[in-house]
Amino acid sequence: MTAEKHNFDAYAFSKRKDYDEAAIRAEFAKAVPLRTVVVYCYDPRATGIPNAVASEFGETFPGEVLLSETGDKAASTATVFEVVVAGGRAYDALRSITVAQHLFGIENVVIVHHSHCGATSFTADGIVEAHRHEHGADISDVYPRASICIGDYTESLQHDVRLVRESKGTPPHVDIYGYFYDIDTEQLTRVVHDPAPRD
């Protein structure tokens, strides 16, 4: 690997001379009114999902970027953030959920799996075997088996809602949902709802 030498320090909050981690965090929380993290597939046919979720929950997406007095992009009106990963499987989104809570605070996590998804076209055994054959590497213990593909939509949504709920990185106060999205009709169907435990 080669890397050109550059200095990007001016763009990093933590490199500022007056860096104050707690103060920066408070500024971030004010800059974005985030409420909902939506996890969905990177299939280009699925790009309507965040808008559909915003309508379903009465939220703002993509919203507008707001400028500072000096003209820099400083804030946003979006209340929905996207985590876009293969199949919309929650395993790939766990760290992003933790970070979203830390910086902005969240109330909902919405997992969406879509019709005719490529993740339903292969099996865990099939991809492990193909990778061994084509790339000479064993990935059988690299990813949890139940998170590799989608065999059954109801099961995959139930699995992912449970995975998010049981992750130590998920704040206990969030409501978690699993939806099926039809890419042709652009309709969402709620399959799972796991409300936060209230006391």
For the chain, how big is the Rg over CA atoms in Å? 19
Tell which one of 38, 41, 75, 188 touches Zn ion (CB under 5 A): 41
| Site size for Zn ion (CB under 5 A) | 3
With respect to Zn ion, which residue has the nearer C-beta, 32 or 191? Answer: 191
Segment contacting Zn ion by CB under 5 A, of 27-35, 115-123, 129-137, 155-163: 115-123
Q: How far is the CB of 122 from Zn ion (least distance, A)?
A: 12
Tell which one of 32, 37, 39, 43 touches Zn ion (CB under 5 A): 43
Decide: is 117 part of the binding site for Zn ion (CB under 5 A).
Answer: yes
With respect to Zn ion, which residue has the nearer C-beta, 41 or 109? Answer: 41
With respect to Zn ion, which residue has the nearer C-beta, 32 or 41? Answer: 41
Segment contacting Zn ion by CB under 5 A, of 24-32, 33-41, 168-176, 188-196: 33-41
Q: How far is the CB of 31 from Zn ion (least distance, A)?
A: 31
With respect to Zn ion, which residue has the nearer C-beta, 75 or 117? Answer: 117
Q: From the CB of residue 161, how many other CB atoms can be counted at a distance below 10 Å?
A: 21
With respect to Zn ion, which residue has the nearer C-beta, 32 or 150? Answer: 150
Q: How far is the CB of 111 from Zn ion (least distance, A)?
A: 13
For the record, the structure tokens of 102 come out as 């830390």
Query: What is the DSSP track for the chain?
Result: --------GGG-GGGSTT--HHHHHHHHHHH----EEEEE---GGGTTHHHHHHHHHT--SS--EEE-TTS-EEEE---EEEEE-GGG-GGGGHHHHHHHHHHT--SEEEEEEETT-GGGSS-HHHHHHHHHHHHS---TTTS-GGGSS-S-HHHHHHHHHHHHHH-TTS-TT-EEEEEEEETTTTEEEEEEEEPPP--
Binding residues (CB under 5 A) for Zn ion: these are 41, 43, 117
